[in-house]
């Protein structure tokens, strides 16, 4: 019998009709070297998550309601629940279809404990095919604060399900905003960047599933619309990168997401030669 250890880390995973991939995602989190409590928020799935997952000492399955709240609503529901427990210094994120590596949280929490001026840390990921789980391409983002602060003016440079936050960031500066649908992570990261340094670890710590069909045209346009809204909200008129970031977003309106993914694959093959 395994006895759970007291922990200062909670991991938040929101799920909606993702029961095919959820067990593997949950198993990867529970295999963590670092002790943690995992909170799975069932956002009104047609087949309740509890039909495939049994709560344990460090696995909590909470149904947010019978009607879906949407990702932002489910995230905020879970965050409020976790914060009310008043026992976690750190909150990690995870999605229902990704695969976390065992040493991920050991490295992320250790980094946060050693760098008190950093409020949130991410890492690199390996993009994998949603069905075959074949490695498609690496996802690398800037790691130092200077590179991150510049890159954020163009787009999000963090992988949302790979983030680990200090709990106090949410308590002090707020939860996810409903006003930024499809780019809620970009907005909250830009907001947090006003108050604390952010970082990425230069290590691959998750397998990140990519849909073979890509996102729909309407969803892509919604993402770009919201990205532009975020860029305007945090616009710095004296920064050339703020201007170039908006210009890049406007150009992307005419570039299909599928073309960008093919380009990433080609560049990855070229890098291996």
Residue pair 268/138 in contact (Cβ under 8 Å)? The answer is yes
What is the model's pLDDT at position 218?
Answer: 65
Give the torsion sign (CA, 249, 250, 255, 256): positive
| pLDDT tens string 226-251 | 999 999 999 999 999 999 999 999 99
Q: Which two tokens stand for residue 11?
A: 């991991």
φ, ψ dihedrals at 129, nearest 5°:
-65, 140
Q: At what angle do helices 70-84 and 184-192 cross, to 10 degrees?
A: 50
Query: Given the structure tokens 């996810």, which residue do they identify?
Result: 176
Residue 1: per-residue pLDDT: 35
Q: Could you tell me if 190 and 230 are in contact, meaning their C-beta atoms sit under 8 angstroms apart?
A: yes
Q: 3-state SS string over the chain?
A: CCCCCCCCEEEEEEECCCCCCHHHHHHHHHCCCCCCEEEEEECCCCCCHHHCCCCECCEEEEECCCCCCHHHHHHHHHHHHHHHCCCCCEEEEEECCCEECCCHHHHHHHHHHHCCCEEEEEEEEEEEECCCCCEEEEECCCCCHHHHHHHCCCCCCCCHHHCEEEHHHHHHHCCCCCCCCCCHHHHHHHHHCCCCEEEEEEEEEEEEEECCCCCCHHHHHHHHHHHHHHHHHCCCCCCHHHHHHHHHHHHHCCCCHHHHHHHHHHHHHHHHC
pLDDT for residue 273: 47
Give the separation between CA 205 and CA 102, rounded to whole angstroms.
8
Please report, for the chain, the start and end positions of each structural domain, with discontinuous segments joined by +.
9-211
Tell me, what's the pLDDT at 2?
44
CA angle 42, 46, 50 (to 5 degrees): 45
Quote the pTM value. Answer: 0.91
Per the CB < 8 A criterion, the answer to whether 83 and 183 are in contact is no
| Regions of the chain where pLDDT drops below 50 | 1-3, 270, 272-273
Quick: pLDDT tens for 71-94: 999 999 999 999 999 999 999 999
Distance (Å, whole) CA 65 – CA 69? 8
CATH of domain 9-211: 3.90.550.10
């Amino acid at each position: 019998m395994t006895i759970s250890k007291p922990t200062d880390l909670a991991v938040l995973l929101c799920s909606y009709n993702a029961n095919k991939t959820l067990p593997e995602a949950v198993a990867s989190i529970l295999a963590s070297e670092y002790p943690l409590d995992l909170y799975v928020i069932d956002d009104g799935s047609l087949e309740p998550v509890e039909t495939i997952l049994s709560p344990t000492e460090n696995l909590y399955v909470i149904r947010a309601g019978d009607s879906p709240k949407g990702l932002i609503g489910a995230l905020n529901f879970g965050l409020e629940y976790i914060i009310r427990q008043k026992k976690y210094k750190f909150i990690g994120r995870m999605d229902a279809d990704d695969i976390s590596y065992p040493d991920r949280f050991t490295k992320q929490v250790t980094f946060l404990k050693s760098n008190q001026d950093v409020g949130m840390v991410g890492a690199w990921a390996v993009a994998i095919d949603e069905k075959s789980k074949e490695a498609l391409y690496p996802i690398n983002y800037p790691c130092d604060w200077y590179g991150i602060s510049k890159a954020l003016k163009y787009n999000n440079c963090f992988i949302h399900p790979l983030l680990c936050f200090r709990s106090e960031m949410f308590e002090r500066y707020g939860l996810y905003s409903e006003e930024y649908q499809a780019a809620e992570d970009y907005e909250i990261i830009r907001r947090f960047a006003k108050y604390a340094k952010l970082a990425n670890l230069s290590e691959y710590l998750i397998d990140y599933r990519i849909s073979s069909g890509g996102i729909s045209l309407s969803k892509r346009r919604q993402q770009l619309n919201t990205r532009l809204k975020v860029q305007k909200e945090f616009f710095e008129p004296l920064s050339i990168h703020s201007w170039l970031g908006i210009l890049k977003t406007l150009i992307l309106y005419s570039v299909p997401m599928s073309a960008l993914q093919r380009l990433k694959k080609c560049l990855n093959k070229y890098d291996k030669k």
